[in-house]
Amino acid sequence: MSFIAGIDQASRQRNSLLCVGLDPDPARFPAQLAERSDAIFEFCRAIVDATADLVCSFKPQIAYFAAQRAEDQLEALIAHIHERHPGLPVILDAKRSDIGSTAEMYAREAFERYRADAVTVNPYLGRDSVKPFLAYRDKGVILLCRTSNPGGSDLQFLEVDKADGTGGKEHLYERVARLVSGEWNRHGQCALVVGATFPEEIRRVRQLVGDMPLLVPGIGAQGGDIEATVKAGRNSTGMGLIINSSRAILYAGTQVDDGINFAAAARQVALQTRDEINRYRVG
């Protein structure tokens, strides 16, 4: 099954648009994991197993593993998700970008080495930098469009001339949305990253891309509003959103009672977040 179909199916089966982002920071782990050589795997595995019935996907952030020399634990984690929670797509958050011959290597890293179902990609290098990822037809390619950080506006919010020759203007992120939903999405593999901190821009992207899935980071620790996000971003069927929360879920219980119940605390916040999202999917 393709990533796009898989995410839709997982969302329906679990009645959830929530994605849990796996950004493991050993400095914030509970004490009982501190001595383990596989602490990163073990922390994430516990979170995964405690929340798998509440989410439409998991999104490991590769930088957190790479900074700790823990690529092997990332491989083991994704293998664990595929094995224990079949049908739940894994999005490798890597924001890769390079020219074609190198992008082939990044695609191999994401899809063959790590066996991710989708990968995030930076669009700045244009169409041929994305093609090697699209060559894996069952995989998802999630392009950065409007990111949730303050500096995102430096380039993404610049006004460019529209391509239609009318003399009208659009923002760079709108051009990215058009490019991706047009020719880059010929085989229906694409999605877009649009930050929850900008609901008006989520609404604009939704207008431009039809029912295409949007990966929305920025709720939770980054302060994005769930109601505004869901109302702006839901598609015609109340779906089409992959709403990511990382730190607010991962570390919900790590500072309480020495973090002994961190996985249960994470589950509690995931449940609340899923339910809050569902409250605004229709109506």
Q: Which residues of the chain form contacts with a copy of itself (CB under 8 A)?
A: 23, 61, 63-64, 66-67, 69, 71, 95-103, 105-106, 108-109, 112-113, 122-130, 144, 147-156, 158-161, 172, 175-176, 179
Tell me if residue 231 is catalytic: no
Mind spelling out the 3-state secondary structure of 210-257?
Answer: CCCCEEECCEHHHCECHHHHHHHHCCCCCCCEEEEECHHHHCCCCCCH
3-state secondary structure of 267: helix
Q: How far is the CB of 75 from a copy of itself (least distance, A)?
A: 8
CA distance 36 to 13: 35
**Nearest distance, CB of residue 20 and a copy of itself, angstroms:** 16
Rank residues 6 and 217 by Cβ distance to a copy of itself and give the closer one.
217
Q: How many residues does this entry show for the chain?
A: 283
Catalytic residue among 59, 95, 139, 162: 95
Residue type present at position 187:
H
Angstrom distance (rounded) from CA 8 to CA 281: 14
Taking the least distance from each CB to a copy of itself, the nearer of 193 and 212 is: 193
Please state the closest distance from residue 170 (CB atom) to a copy of itself, in A: 10
Q: How far apart are CA 44 and CA 59, in angstroms?
A: 11
Question: 125 vs 271, which CB is nearer to a copy of itself?
Answer: 125
Is the CB of 1 or the CB of 158 nearer to a copy of itself?
158
Closest distance of CB 23 from a copy of itself, Å: 7
CB of 120 to a copy of itself, least distance (A): 9
Q: Which is nearer to a copy of itself, 150 or 165 (CB)?
A: 150
What are the backbone dihedrals phi and psi of residue 271, each rounded to the nearest 5 degrees, phi first?
-60, -50
**Separation of alpha carbons 197 and 146, rounded Å:** 10
Supply φ then ψ for residue 78, to 5 degrees: -65, -40
- Where in the sequence numbering do the catalytic residues fall? 95
